[in-house]
Copies of this chain bind each other. A is one copy, B any other.
Amino acid sequence: MMKLTILGCYAATPRTLSNPTSQLLEIKNHTFLIDCAEGTQVQLRKQKIKFTKINHVFISHLHGDHFYGLIGLISTFMLFNRVNDLHVYGPKGIKEIILLQLRASGSFTGYSLCFHELETTQSQIIFEDEHVEVHTIPLKHRVYTNGFLFVEKNNERRLNLDAIQNHNIDKVYYNKIKYGGTITLDNGTVIPNRELTFDPPKGLRYAYCSDTMYEESIIPLIQEVDCLYHESTFLESEAHLLERTMHATAKQAATIASKAQVKQLVLGHYSTRYPSIELFKQEAQTVFEEVILADDGKIIEIN
């Protein structure tokens, strides 16, 4: 299971009752922060999330409603005498912005602050360990923007118990087999792993796509993901704003979800011009059924 906490999901500017974009994704042994608008550290406090669990921050693009809270979070980590490395993934330029402000305040971080600046427009793997992979999803917006695909790795192959019992293999070898090992029987016969196992179940995948206009080139990258967050700044009634702003409508988000055959679609990055976010769900469901509305503080479990 992954746990997605929406810290903020409204467009443009922080307001009294709504926050611009930030999300927290708990995946395997990691707590990833995705975007970090002004006020994110207060939203983390409101959700009672231990700041120090966050070691990786992914910034989609350098519009203020997605990253103006990062410098404050980094400064707060300094005050808290953080020790662990902090990794920041974001567009080229983010390092200079952060370091310029730290220098101006005569500060330095006691912890290592590692920037991973992005500039390619091809999807690439930007984080990988034993349990998790993170890929970029190149998006189309007014400035250089990436979405992110978070993938749980599933390294454990499933045991083919019939085959294993046919060969009278003892239980002590099961773990070896799960992780791809071959078995040598007492008579010297070598049994290759593929005869004893099935492929592992596919790991869960979460795709974060914001901000972006309607862009079909992302479909192969997010094909059949378990959960897709796709921005829906507008409704179709504001379609005339799309070309200039390079945002998407709820219907367009649903069309992407449908074409990519994702399991569920989460909508967000709402313009605050509408009287109710239910309108986004209604519009999206004319195209795709499994729609969840993001809202500040909402927790979404991805199974």
Interface contact A72-B38, CB-CB below 8 Å = yes
Interfacial chain B residues near A164, Cβ < 8 Å? none
From A10-18, A27-35, A178-186, the one touching the partner chain is A10-18
* Distance of A37 from chain B, by nearest CB (Å): 9
Interface contact A41-B13, CB-CB below 8 Å = yes
Q: Does A105 contact B (CB under 8 A)?
A: yes
Bound: A71/B101 CA distance, A: 12
Q: Does A268 contact B (CB under 8 A)?
A: no
Interface contact B68-A72, CB-CB below 8 Å = yes
Bound: A62/B71 CA distance, A: 12
The residue from B15, B45, B101 contacting A16, defined by CB atoms under 8 A apart: B45
From A92-100, A126-134, A196-204, the one touching the partner chain is A92-100
The residue from B39, B68, B93, B105 contacting A14, defined by CB atoms under 8 A apart: B39
Digit string of A30-74 for contact with B (CB within 8 Å is 1, else 0)?
000000001101100110000000000000001111001101100
Interfacial chain B residues near A16, Cβ < 8 Å? 42, 45-46
Interfacial chain B residues near A101, Cβ < 8 Å? 62, 64, 68, 97
Bound: A123/B98 CA distance, A: 31
Q: Does A84 contact B (CB under 8 A)?
A: no
Q: Does A172 contact B (CB under 8 A)?
A: no
Q: In the complex, which residue of chain B has the Cβ closest to the Cβ of A76?
A: B13
Bound: A65/B101 CA distance, A: 12
Q: Which of A91-124 contact B (CB under 8 A)?
A: 91, 93-94, 96-97, 100-101, 104-106
Q: Could you tell me how many residues of chain A have their Cβ less than 8 Å away from some Cβ of chain B?
A: 34
Bound: A45/B39 CA distance, A: 14
Q: In the complex, which residue of chain B has the Cβ closest to the Cβ of A92?
A: B104
Q: Does A125 contact B (CB under 8 A)?
A: no
* Distance of A42 from chain B, by nearest CB (Å): 5
Interface contact B64-A75, CB-CB below 8 Å = yes
Interface contact A143-B105, CB-CB below 8 Å = yes
Interfacial chain B residues near A93, Cβ < 8 Å? 104
Q: Does A190 contact B (CB under 8 A)?
A: no
Interfacial chain B residues near A14, Cβ < 8 Å? 39, 41-42, 72
Bound: A268/B101 CA distance, A: 25
Q: Does A82 contact B (CB under 8 A)?
A: no
Bound: A256/B13 CA distance, A: 40
Interfacial chain B residues near A87, Cβ < 8 Å? none
Given contacts A14-B42, A97-B101, could you give 7 more A-B pairs where the C-beta distance is less than 8 Å? A13-B72, A14-B39, A16-B42, A63-B105, A68-B72, A68-B75, A96-B100
A contact set with B: CB distance below 8 Å: 12-16, 38-39, 41-42, 45-46, 62-65, 68-69, 71-72, 75-76, 79, 91, 93-94, 96-97, 100-101, 104-106, 142-143
6 residue pairs, one from A and one from B, having the closest CB atoms? A62-B104, A64-B75, A38-B72, A13-B76, A93-B104, A106-B143
